[in-house]
Amino acid sequence: MHDVIVIGAGGGGPVVAKELAAKGLDVLLLEAGPRHDKPREQWTSFENDASNPLTGFFRLGPTDRSRPAWFREWSQNSFVWQLSGVGGTTQHFYGNYPRAYPGVFNDYREADAGQYDRAHRFPFGYSEMVPYFEWVEATTPVMTAAMGHKEQTFFRGCETMNLPVQTTKTTHGPSYRPQENAILQPGGNAGRTTDSNLLHYPDATGCTFCGYCFQGCMRPIGAPRNQFAKRSTDNTYVPMALTVDAWARGGKPITLLTDAYVTQVHAENRNGALRATGVTWRENASGAEHREDAKVVVMAGGCTENPRLWLNSGLPDPNGWVGRGYTDHFFDWVIGAFDEPVGNPKGVGSAARLDFPPYGGLENVGLPPALHGFAMTLSESGIRGQYANGRGMTGPWDGPAGRIMGPELKDLIANRIENILSVLVITDDDVEPDNRVTLSSLPADENGPIPKVHFRPRQRTARTLRNREFMAGKAAELLRGAGAKEVYRIDWAPLILHVQSSMRMGESEKDSVLDANGQSRAVRGLFIADNSALANGLGGPNPTLTTQSLATRTAEKIFEEHFGGDPWVRSEAPVVSTDPRVSVRLGELGL
């Protein structure tokens, strides 16, 4: 019998595991995919090797890459960018850690409050979240992003828009700033040379500006795992949880099992209430099944997998909101082509942002060539200049929106890749019940019925559509101001990266799965602690910081309610994961 079982070692699960293990609880962390414990041997910087959805080392599938990936159904024009493995999508994310806008919490009273999704607010105030934001910011740690030429170009465009520079971590209004980023600042030789012989730890620390963020981070060469530049949870919370005895008072290391696919969450009726009692999990390699019991179960498998597991487990869904409200920040992609190089795709993937509450935000994104090609061809508007697919919106960009193809694409990728500045449009989208996850009618796999993702890429709410058009216009304005000679809008089909809210917490039991503590309303002792627990689209900011802060708060609530503990976040300083004592311990483990 364990105290706590955590399902999923992505962006949220390791946070709960580490925090509860530090309090001396027996925590079992189960991950369906692999752990890349020797990334310098297991990873490369080749884009296809990393991101091929069938065979890449960042795919949704078991450790053995010769075996098939796990299939997921989505019938509309979209791409659900899932991957399994310890670290989850934080293995290939860009480390951006902005705070959610205050307007998405229930204590917001400013004049623009009505312009947010007020029907789906967080069931507590922004002020209550601040200590948890600060805790995660200190733990990962979060700092001002290292910047280069492409960020200088981005800011040059921002300066023409009559917006102030943001100097606070909390966003109070339209402004621009360097990213709040969970990537260690360059030190020593890092950022000063491209000679790999000089970029070995400890002579080089932090980000080495290699430009391969999306293929995972394994630099600086020779650094211990918790000193890798990009702060994936497999470089922060997981090492801390595995070595908790190296620093925590009374803590005990977690047990981490990988290639362990959870197929059922068990619950029993006790004293008139349904309570979680444990899980059944399956070994990917052998197919052997195991039953594990616990006092508390925490689901952190992601926005697509949590509803699937819930429904496959036969757990109650009294209001029909399991899997509903699946939001994606309705991304769009606007690029500017310049006469001179702007530094793309070198350096940190994304180090500059513009926020425009209550509409959403913009951030620069540097990508290597193949991913840039993918980004410029994922469109809902057809081929630019050839056919509009019923859309082809016009605006302050060149020609109609649409995918770039043929000689134009070849010219941009082959001849002008260094001259491109790409801007990601991140919209604050409404929580919509028709965007959801259900079980597919296609054949089940070895782990049971598979999930189906339903999206309405064109039929969004009027507010969501307004926000997207407004921010796409601002992206074009920024690029023109920075000196772009051509500006292209792609009009992305749904690209499911910032997915959230499919098991949302909320103020009302009518449209939420979780209460204000992250606990299931239908099954006591069953919590959710990843992006799917988020109440809404956060106003548009990247979700990782808010998810991990909420997971920290959820861990505290678990400790208080189910183990008789006292709250700790407000009274204890977090231990930063770059502690040298942890580095020594990791060296002993061969990590």
Q: How confident is the model at residue 230 (pLDDT cuts 50, 70, 90)?
A: very high
- pLDDT value of residue 528: 98
CA distance 544 to 11: 7
361-409 residue pLDDT tens: 999 999 999 999 999 999 999 999 899 998 989 999 999 999 999 999 9
- pLDDT value of residue 568: 85
Q: What is the Cα gyration radius of the chain? A: 23
Options 1.10.287.10, 3.30.450.20, 3.40.50.720, 3.50.50.60; which CATH number does 2-35+98-139+234-326+500-588 get? 3.50.50.60
Q: What is the overall mean pLDDT for the chain?
A: 94
- pLDDT value of residue 244: 73
Residues 424/214, Cβ–Cβ less than 8 Å: no
194-214 residue pLDDT tens: 899 999 999 999 999 999 999
The helices-and-strands tally (H runs, E runs) of the chain is 12, 22
In the predicted structure, residue 15 carries a pLDDT above the cut 90: yes
CA distance 452 to 444: 12
- pLDDT value of residue 245: 60
- Percent of the chain with pLDDT strictly greater than 90: 90
Residues 480/97, Cβ–Cβ less than 8 Å: no
Q: Which of 413, 396, 395 is nearest to 404 (CA)?
A: 413
In the predicted structure, residue 565 carries a pLDDT above the cut 70: yes
Q: Which of 35, 31, 33, 27 is nearest to 2 (CA)?
A: 27
DSSP, residue by residue, 77-119: S-EE----STTGGGGTS--B-PPPPGGGBTT--STTGGGS-GG
CA distance 46 to 28: 34
Least confident span in 340-344, 471-475, 582-586: 582-586
In the predicted structure, residue 352 carries a pLDDT above the cut 80: yes
Sequence ranges of the domains in the chain: 2-35+98-139+234-326+500-588, 332-496
SS3 375: helix
Q: How confident is the model at residue 572 (pLDDT cuts 50, 70, 90)?
A: low
List the strands of the sheet with 73-74, edge to edge. 73-74, 451-454, 436-439
285-307 residue pLDDT tens: 999 999 999 999 999 999 999 99
- pTM, whole model, 2 decimals? 0.96
Least confident span in 148-157, 224-233, 240-249, 367-376: 240-249
Q: Percentages helix, strand, coil for the chain, rounded to the nearest 5?
A: 25, 20, 50
CA distance 14 to 118: 31
- pLDDT value of residue 585: 36
In the predicted structure, residue 581 carries a pLDDT above the cut 50: no
- pLDDT value of residue 588: 34
In the predicted structure, residue 589 carries a pLDDT above the cut 90: no
482-525 residue pLDDT tens: 999 999 999 999 998 999 999 999 999 999 999 999 999 999 99
In the predicted structure, residue 447 carries a pLDDT above the cut 90: yes
Residues 231/140, Cβ–Cβ less than 8 Å: yes
Is the sign of the CA dihedral 365, 366, 372, 374 positive or negative? Answer: negative
Largest CA distance in the chain: 72
Token digits of residue 183: 């990537």
114-148 residue pLDDT tens: 999 999 999 999 999 999 999 999 999 999 999 99
409-421 residue pLDDT tens: 999 999 999 999 9
150-159 residue pLDDT tens: 999 999 999 9
Token digits of residue 96: 């951006």
Mean pLDDT (whole number) for 428-454: 97
CA distance 60 to 517: 30
- pLDDT value of residue 385: 87
Residue ranges with strand state E in 320-466: 332-337, 352-356, 360-365, 420-427, 436-439, 451-454
- pLDDT value of residue 573: 56
Q: How confident is the model at residue 591 (pLDDT cuts 50, 70, 90)?
A: very low
75-114 residue pLDDT tens: 899 999 999 999 999 999 999 999 999 999 999 999 999 9
How many CB atoms neighbour CB 516 within 10 A? 17
CA 283 to chain centre: 26
- pLDDT value of residue 249: 67
